[in-house]
Chain A
Amino acid sequence: MTAPTSTPNPFKNLPRAGQPDRTVLLMLFFIISSGILLASHNAPLLESLGSLGSFLKNPIVEALFVSLFLANVLFAYLWKAAPWARMLVGVGSLLFVLPLAGREDTSLLDLSIQIMIFAALALGLNIVVGLAGLLDLGYIAFFAVGAYLWGIFASPRFAEVLRYYGENPGATNAGTLAIGLFLLVVTIASLVYISRLTARTAPTALSTWSFRLASLGAVAGLTLTLRAVMVLMSGSADSLEAGINPGFFWLFLALSIMAAAIVGVLIGLPVLKLKGDYLAIITLGLGEVIRVLANNLDLYSAGSQGITPIGTASVPWFNTLAGALGFAEDQHYLLFLYALVLVVIGVILLVNVRLDRSRIGRAWIAIRDDEVAAQAMGVPLMQTKLIAFATGASFAGVMGMIFAAKQTFISPESFVLNQSIMVLAMVILGGMGSFPGVILGAGVVTLLNLRILPGLGEATANLGIPQEVNPGQLQRLIFGAILVAMMLLRPEGLLPNRRRQLELHHEDHQEDDSAQGNAGALGKGGGDVYSAGYAPAKEDDKAGGSR
């Protein structure tokens, strides 16, 4: 099947028609906001400005400048402008101006990495909530899986775990290893076989149960194998005092994706049968289970005091490169992480866009809109939902690992319910199902959380307000308000996905059918007028083009 020539390009599908050309405005905005960003993060310059300088260093003002700067990228995406200008602004902002400003002020790099980590989380949750319509309130658990995977292996924890197994070897190693590997191979083979079988025929009680049995067996096999490997390795515990060789970073990057996806499937298997509200409360519970385990399995997670120091990645060639670009020694690692996160999020975005336009993506949307109808049309419910869960989880897993390598410290505190809600707030704020939307949401919420709230807290700390009332501590109130306000006023989010928007305003269109599209009017609050000739043509295009 050849790719249809009229494949709708997601970046062209947007409400730019009818806008005046804004190339000049865009370039002007780019230059001004970049200038402000560079100036406000230039320490010597701020010194020389005196009191104005310290005002500019205020976290709230900084957040304002950073968001102004990030608005560049948003406008490059939204505005109608010459392609070269949009390209230049997008690439220039992220690849040149931001690292350049970060060279003077590392906290800016740190902030950008955090924003992108959360953007990846939001993109992952967006698949689960926005595309497949499954409300997952324990999403941060997958982030924890990735973080603890690297955290345990690349820290002194690993040596301690090995020592523990060395002292308590249990059964004979070779036997355990053999049984474990055997179980693993057999169960995975049967899993593949069963899923092939059920892909064609309706699942029966037998196939469901054998599937569950095989999954249990796979977990048992994996546990036994890991245990045996640990026991066999326990002799070398002393040489692993600082964790494994940082050269394994890339391997673990792949492993963290797989581990999170596997955990996603394991959690998904029992719970995805449930309807929306039950799923919400169960995932909430399972998220809590993972946190409690992290808090109580002292051997692996060091309990509530957390794991530290966690090894960092070692990339000599990048350090040389960064050195050549004039970055100081201690900035190399952050710059590396920035580049890494940028690449990862690019890949995630690409995966997202491709998935959205694929058979799976359409199946997700079909399930979201009407599960029964989707099933009647031949969408395998369980399999499709599991893929959504696993895909979303894997994004969180890889970012969790990068998070651990960046912080070099993790504790269960980073994986509480509030964090799951925060990611949900990003998705809701930006718009469920809309990729640019959730990235915008991630940017806004992260800036709010890391700069504006602490800034407000600092500003009001001297006013004699009790700690409990300090606005810096009102995360729950603010996230809650975001959720409620968006749901009541604009459920499709700030940058809506067109299809989702049409669904959520179904009733409005029945009277509004003849209205001319003013699709460009994003900022005008309405933006939801059905453009009769525009979107349906695209939809038909898509359906016809890929069959």
Chain B
Amino acid sequence: MDFATLLTFLIGVITGGLVLGFVYAIIALGYTMVYGVLQLINFAHSEVFVTGAVVGFEVFRVLAPVEMNGYLKLLIALVAAMTISGLLNVVIERLAYRPLRNSPRLVPLITAIGVSLILQDVLRVIEGFQGRFDLTYTLPNGFSAPFCGAESTCAPVGKFLTGIGVSLQLKDVILVVVSLLSLAVLNYIVNRTRLGKAIRAVAQDRVTAGLMGIDANRMISATFLIGGALGGISGVLFGMKFGTINAYSGFIPGVTAFTAAVLGGIGSIPGAVLGGLLLGVLEKLIGVTNVFGEVLGIANLGVIDDSYSKLGAFIALVLILIFKPTGLLGKSNVEKV
């Protein structure tokens, strides 16, 4: 393999990783926002995300026979997933976390694990009543076609991208655009609105924020709503990208996204995005380690099993927590008595 081929190959792998990374980034935002206000790992977030994916599947399935613009279908799927996942997250917080807010830290954590398990089976049963387990997305026509294919008007762009090694499908581009839009909206809400200011105040110091007249409980609910809505978006995007999901498929992306949040510095919104992108690229790179081994003549590593590349996230998490527990963009947090 000569240098130019290797370079285009690498560019292809890295763009693929970045696309995947956007999904992780949006999921990671849900973890990081909740952690920011409550210092709680919301284990149930991976199921909130799968709920979004299931809602997206249902919308596309129901709308499949309807003659409608594909983008409109996507919009409906996204809005439905955002609403349902967001409300689900709020309900979880209200029922399972709020009563335990003053308990020892272990208690809400165990509850979160329990909620996550319950939701997995509930989702499985809901789909199971219709005899389904693996849910395969029926995407609108053209979503899986190459981005700017030969016949389309933007064929030169597509040709250029293919030339430098980037092979994208239309749905990958949609995924990146939707992610960037949600990031922009989130950024606006958190940094420019009164609501965002109040949420940041609660995250900084709940008691003092209360003294300033902010209803901390409402702000926490709002955070769960936003985090859940982001989970819903990422669910639909994840389902679109991978095509097939089931009730249990939230675990690995959930842990990866959590790792992304930790890598970027948990509680930090830009950190979550950065961490997500880095981990997406890392996962893709681990997946092609064998190619590097071959090119560099180190070893014939054979086929790298998919399960190993999933483990990359865990190993990254262990290393980050040992060497830089505050993450890349996080603030150091000295424990005070």
Is A295 interfacial (CB-CB < 8 Å)? yes
Is A133's CB under 8 angstroms from B106's CB? yes
Is A479 interfacial (CB-CB < 8 Å)? yes
Q: How far is the CA of A286 from the CA of B318 in the complex (A)?
A: 9
Is B308's CB under 8 angstroms from A296's CB? yes
How does the 8 Å CB contact mask read for B294-315 relative to A, with 1 for contact and 0 for none? 0000000000010110110111
How does the 8 Å CB contact mask read for A273-288 relative to B, with 1 for contact and 0 for none? 1101110111011101
> What's the minimum C-beta distance from A5 to chain B, rounded to whole angstroms?
35
Q: Contacts of A467 on B, CB cut-off 8 Å?
A: 128
Is B153 interfacial (CB-CB < 8 Å)? no
Q: Contacts of A487 on B, CB cut-off 8 Å?
A: 100, 103, 107-108, 110-111, 114
Q: How far is the CA of A281 from the CA of B252 in the complex (A)?
A: 12
- Which of B115, B129, B308 sits near A480, CB closer than 8 Å? B115
Is A474's CB under 8 angstroms from B121's CB? yes
- Which of A281, A479, A484 sits near B111, CB closer than 8 Å? A484
Is B96's CB under 8 angstroms from A488's CB? yes
Q: Contacts of B124 on A, CB cut-off 8 Å?
A: 468
Q: Contacts of B94 on A, CB cut-off 8 Å?
A: none
- Which of B104, B132, B315 sits near A503, CB closer than 8 Å? B104
- Which of B39, B106, B120, B321 sits near A476, CB closer than 8 Å? B120
Chain A: interface residue total (CB-CB under 8 A): 47
A467-B128, A507-B102 given as contacts; is B133 within 8 A of A484 (CB)?
no
Nearest chain-A residue to B336 (Cβ)? Answer: A372
Is B62 interfacial (CB-CB < 8 Å)? no
Q: Contacts of B132 on A, CB cut-off 8 Å?
A: 468
Is A177 interfacial (CB-CB < 8 Å)? no
Is A421 interfacial (CB-CB < 8 Å)? yes
How does the 8 Å CB contact mask read for B246-278 relative to A, with 1 for contact and 0 for none? 000001000100100010000000000000000
Q: Contacts of A372 on B, CB cut-off 8 Å?
A: 335, 337
- Which of B41, B110, B125, B318 sits near A285, CB closer than 8 Å? B318
Is A276's CB under 8 angstroms from B117's CB? no
A281-B317, A484-B115 given as contacts; is B311 within 8 A of A504 (CB)?
no
Nearest chain-B residue to A479 (Cβ)? Answer: B117
Is A466's CB under 8 angstroms from B317's CB? no
Q: How far is the CA of A507 from the CA of B99 in the complex (A)?
A: 14
Chain B residues numbered 8-62 whose CB sits less than 8 Å from any CB in chain A: 39-41
A133-B106, A289-B311 given as contacts; is B325 within 8 A of A274 (CB)?
yes
Is B314's CB under 8 angstroms from A469's CB? no
> What's the minimum C-beta distance from A67 to chain B, rounded to whole angstroms?
23
Q: Contacts of B113 on A, CB cut-off 8 Å?
A: 137, 280, 421, 424, 480, 483
Is A189 interfacial (CB-CB < 8 Å)? no
Is B110's CB under 8 angstroms from A135's CB? yes
Is B118 interfacial (CB-CB < 8 Å)? yes
Nearest chain-B residue to A467 (Cβ)? Answer: B128
Nearest chain-A residue to B337 (Cβ)? Answer: A372
Q: How far is the CA of A296 from the CA of B258 in the complex (A)?
A: 25
- B residues sitting closer than 8 Å to A (CB atoms) are 39-41, 96, 99-100, 102-111, 113-122, 124-125, 127-129, 131-133, 251, 255, 258, 262, 305, 307-308, 310-311, 313-315, 317-318, 321-322, 325, 335, 337
Give 11 A-B contacts (CB < 8 Å), ordered by A residue: A276-B105, A278-B321, A278-B325, A281-B317, A285-B317, A296-B308, A421-B117, A480-B119, A481-B118, A484-B118, A487-B107
